[in-house]
Chains A and B, each alone.
Chain A
Amino acid sequence: DTAVSQTPKYLVTQMGNDKSIKCEQNLGHDTMYWYKQDSKKFLKIMFSYNNKELIINETVPNRFSPKSPDKAHLNLHINSLELGDSAVYFCASSQHGQRSSGANVLTFGAGSRLTVL
C-alpha cells in the first residue's frame, strides 16, 4: 500500500476553472502538508495541518483552500486557476507537528502535475 497517495497524478485544465487534488496517508501521522514545485524545480511549503487544524499558511493566495476532513486526509482546492498555478503539487505527512522533535521526518507522495492552459 502506498503510504501517501495523491489523486489525480496529472491534471490539465483551462484558466478560470476550479479543481481539487486529494491526498490520503495511511501512516497514522498527525500532520499533513502541501508543497508546490514550480518549473524551476524549487520546492516551497504552502500549508500544514496538525490533527485537522491549520498550522502553517505560507502567504498562499486565497484561491487555494486546503481542507482536512480527518487527520488522514488533506485535500487542496484551487479556485479560478491561473497560468502561474501550473506546477507539481506534493502532499506529505509526518508523525509530529509544530514544535516537535527536530527528528521529525516527512513522507512525500508522488506528486500531482497540474497544467493550466
Chain B
Amino acid sequence: DAKTTQPNSMESNEEEPVHLPCNHSTISGTDYIHWYRQLPSQGPEYVIHGLTSNVNNRMASLAIAEDRKSSTLILHRATLRDAAVYYCILRDVQNTDKLIFGTGTRLQVFP
C-alpha cells in the first residue's frame, strides 16, 4: 500500500490559515487522496478528497501537486473547533479499497 508522510504536529492561531502538508511519493495513478480528521473523543470525520485537481468544499481546500507526490490541506480560517488529528490517506481502489490510516498531524489551535 502506498504510504503518506505527515508532520507529527502543527500549531496555529485562531482565525489564521493553516496549511497541513502530506507527502505521498509512491502514489499510483489511480489512488485518490483523502483527508479525514478526528476530534478529541470522536470518530474520524471526512474532510475532503481529490485525484488530480485542486478541490474546495465548505470545510477546507485541497491543493494537489502537479506530480501528485504531495498535497496540502488548507483550512482558510482556523477555529478552536478545528483542533484535531488530521489524516492524509491514499485510497487504494485497485486492490482492496480500504482506508489505511497513518499517524496523522495533531493540529493545535490557540485563541
A residues touching B (Cβ–Cβ < 8 Å)?
4, 33, 35, 41-45, 48, 55-56, 90, 92, 97-111
> Are the C-beta atoms of A108 and B43 separated by less than 8 Å?
yes
> Are the C-beta atoms of B46 and A111 separated by less than 8 Å?
no
CB distance from A89 to the nearest CB of B (A): 10
CB distance from A6 to the nearest CB of B (A): 9
> Are the C-beta atoms of A102 and B98 separated by less than 8 Å?
no
The number of residues on chain B lying at the interface, defined by a beta carbon within 8 Å of a beta carbon of chain A, is 26
- Tell me which residues across on chain A come within 8 A of B94, comparing CB atoms: 99
CB distance from A109 to the nearest CB of B (A): 5
Which of B10-18, B71-79, B99-107 lies on the face that meets chain A? B99-107
The listed residue (A42, A43, A101, A102) touching B44 by CB distance below 8 A is A43
Q: A42-B103, A98-B97, A103-B32 are in contact. List 9 more A-B contacts (CB 8 A).
A: A35-B101, A43-B87, A45-B99, A97-B97, A98-B96, A99-B93, A103-B49, A105-B49, A111-B41
> Are the C-beta atoms of B30 and A102 separated by less than 8 Å?
yes
